[in-house]
Amino acid sequence: MKRLKTERDSEPDDSLEKSMAQVASALSDPSRVSILCALMDGRAWTATELSAVADIAASTTSGHLSRLLSNGLIICLTQGRHRYYSLAGHHIAGLLENLMGISMHTFKSPVPRTPAYLRYARTCYDHLAGELAVNIYEFMLQDKWLEADGTALTPDGKSHFQNLGAVLNSRPRRKSCCPCLDWSERRFHLGGDAGSALMTLFLQKEWVARTPGYREVNVTDRGRTALRRLFSLD
Do 151 and 205 belong to one domain?
Answer: yes
The residue among 122, 127, 124, 96 whose CA lies nearest residue 193 is 127
Measured between alpha carbons, how far is 157 from 140 in angstroms, rounded to an integer? 8
Q: E strand or H helix at 225, and its extent?
A: helix 221-231
Separation in Å, CA 86 to CA 65, 68, 72, 107, 152: 10, 10, 11, 34, 28
Do 154 and 225 belong to one domain?
Answer: yes
CATH value at residue 61: 1.10.10.10
Do 161 and 68 belong to one domain?
Answer: no
Return the DSSP state at 206.
T
Measured between alpha carbons, how far is 183 from 186 in angstroms, rounded to an integer? 5
Measured between alpha carbons, how far is 39 from 143 in angstroms, rounded to an integer? 33
Query: Has residue 125 been placed in a domain?
Result: yes
Query: Has residue 98 been placed in a domain?
Result: no
Do 38 and 134 belong to one domain?
Answer: no
Do 80 and 124 belong to one domain?
Answer: no
Query: Has residue 207 been placed in a domain?
Result: yes
**What residues contact residue 88 under an 8 Å CB cut-off, 6+ apart?**
72, 73, 74, 75
Phi/psi of residue 134, nearest 5 degrees: -65, -40
Query: Has residue 10 been placed in a domain?
Result: yes
Measured between alpha carbons, how far is 216 from 201 in angstroms, rounded to an integer? 17
Answer with the one of 60, 88, 116 that is the final residue of a domain. Answer: 88
Query: Has residue 95 been placed in a domain?
Result: no
Do 192 and 151 belong to one domain?
Answer: yes
Q: E strand or H helix at 191, and its extent?
A: strand 188-191
Chain centroid to Cα 45, Å, comes to 15
Per-residue pLDDT of the chain (234 residues; tens, 9 = 90+): 556 655 555 555 558 888 889 999 999 999 999 999 889 887 788 999 899 888 899 889 999 999 999 999 999 988 777 888 999 988 898 888 888 877 765 444 444 556 777 789 999 889 999 999 999 999 999 999 999 999 999 999 999 999 999 999 988 888 899 998 887 887 899 999 999 999 999 999 999 999 877 788 999 999 999 999 999 987
Range of the domain at 27: 2-88
Query: Has residue 72 been placed in a domain?
Result: yes
Do 118 and 224 belong to one domain?
Answer: yes
Measured between alpha carbons, how far is 4 from 158 in angstroms, rounded to an integer? 37
| Residue 224, pLDDT score | 95
- Angle of helix 221-231 relative to helix 131-142, nearest 10 degrees, comes to 30
Query: Has residue 93 been placed in a domain?
Result: no
pTM: 0.62
Calculate the CA dihedral of residues 8, 123, 27, 52 and round it to 10 degrees: 100
Total number of domains constituting the chain: 2
Query: Has residue 54 been placed in a domain?
Result: yes
Answer with the one of 55, 88, 121 that is the final residue of a domain. Answer: 88
Torsion-angle region of 2 (φ positive above 0: left; ψ -120 to 50: alpha; else: beta): beta
208: helix, strand or coil: strand
Measured between alpha carbons, how far is 168 from 107 in angstroms, rounded to an integer? 40
Answer with the one of 56, 88, 120 that is the final residue of a domain. Answer: 88
